[in-house]
Amino acid sequence: MYFNDSTIVFSNGEYVTAKDLMVSPYNQTMHYGNGAFEGIRSYNTPDGTRIFKAIEHYERLKYSCEKMYIPCDYSVKELEQITYKLLELNNLSDAYVRPIVFLEPNMSLTATKKSTLIIMAWEWGQYLGSEQLRVMTSSFERPNPKSCHVEAKITGHYTNSILATQEAKEKGFDEALLTDIRGNVAEGPGANFFYEKNGELFTCPKGNILPGITRQTVFEIAKELEIPVHEKWFGIDEVYTADTAFFCGTAAEVIGIKSLDDKVFPMKWEDSVSELIQRKYKLRVSTNEFREMLI
Ligand code: PMP
């Protein structure tokens, strides 16, 4: 699914076939979870293949590396160019791009001097599908921001996401919604959360979440559509009173939520401002509209 015999990946300065990649089992990332990664999408637009917000994603990758003492000497511009070349070599246009920076053999808990950057790409549909989701409140909380750099995209943080996702699936739900250590709503295992009430959107402030690039895009779109967005702390009970809700993330894009626990949201998705945001997001990424806006 992710690669075949002819798939090319970028690995430390070279484009090589994925099947021939060798990774040392002594690498510190595999043992202790200290690696940085990104999830990026490219789209087939009328102007050709365009990576959506490549700069923002690669800035975040470098930020994640810096916070975790992971060397990463590539500039954001270089990373963008490498990715375009990788997409071309694999003949990909609508694709998901996964860069990962992982560490050299080191079995101690000290910073490691050398890292390896691998960038992979494959075709990937919407991560959470295209149907409105049945979501459960997770019994797991997002990590305490005093225990890690929660705003960085670090491999080890995703054990928390796996636990929450697996719990939700085992209980017959599509996805989980996690609270923070104070019981406020935080985010999903791999996406940010918004709810809608009386035509306005609500989401939690930064602090206990991965502040998504899609979340930021939702703010931008909402501003253009004159839909008020409020960042505030709220609990699960407040979400129960919402008209509707959605998750957003690079892999998931914007995806509606049908219910939380046993509460079905009363508003039809087609009647919500959330659906307008979803449509506008699709349009923005697939028509390269965002580039024009930057000029
Ligand atoms: N929260 C978490 C925990 C995530 O893994 C992701 C996906 N990267 C997001 C939010 C959404 O981030 P983005 O919009 O930058 O993809």
* Ligand 1 pocket, residue 11 CB under 6 Å: no
d(CA 227, CA 244): 15
Q: Say if strands 36-37 and 40-45 run parallel, antiparallel, or are unpaired.
A: unpaired
Q: Which regions in the chain score pLDDT beneath 70?
A: 288-295
Counting ligand 1 atoms within 8 A of each CB, the residue from 214, 246, 278, 281 with the most, and so the one to mutate, is 214
The full set of domains in the chain, from first to last, is 8-122 (3.30.470.10), 133-286 (3.20.10.10)
Nearest atom (ligand 1) to Cα of 216 = 14
Per-residue pLDDT, 129: 87
Beta carbons within 8 Å of 116's beta carbon, 6+ residues apart: 11, 12, 23, 27, 101, 102, 103, 104
Per-residue pLDDT, 127: 86
The 3-class secondary structure across 180-245, one letter per residue, is CCCCCEEECCCCEEEEEECCEEEECCCCCCCCCHHHHHHHHHHHHCCCCEEECCCCHHHHHCCCEE
Q: Tens digits of per-residue pLDDT, 6-23?
A: 999 999 999 999 999 999
Cα dist from 2 to 22, 80, 97, 160, 187, whole Å: 17, 21, 11, 23, 26
Smallest CA separation from ligand 1 atom 12, residue: 212
Nearest atom (ligand 1) to Cα of 39 = 8
* Ligand 1 pocket, residue 160 CB under 6 Å: no
Distance (angstroms) between ligand 1 centre and the Cα of 191 equals 5
Per-residue pLDDT, 292: 47
Distance (angstroms) between ligand 1 centre and the Cα of 217 equals 12
Token pair, residue 236, equals 């699960």
Distance (angstroms) between ligand 1 centre and the Cα of 122 equals 18
Smallest CA separation from ligand 1 atom 3, residue: 190
Per-residue pLDDT, 123: 96
**Amino acid occupying residue 210:** L
Counting ligand 1 atoms within 8 A of each CB, the residue from 126, 162, 192, 219 with the most, and so the one to mutate, is 192
The residues carrying an active-site annotation are 153
Whether 219 contacts 96, CB under 8 Å = no
Nearest atom (ligand 1) to Cα of 192 = 10
| CA atoms within a 13 Å half-sphere pointing along the CA-CB vector of 131 | 7
Per-residue pLDDT, 290: 55
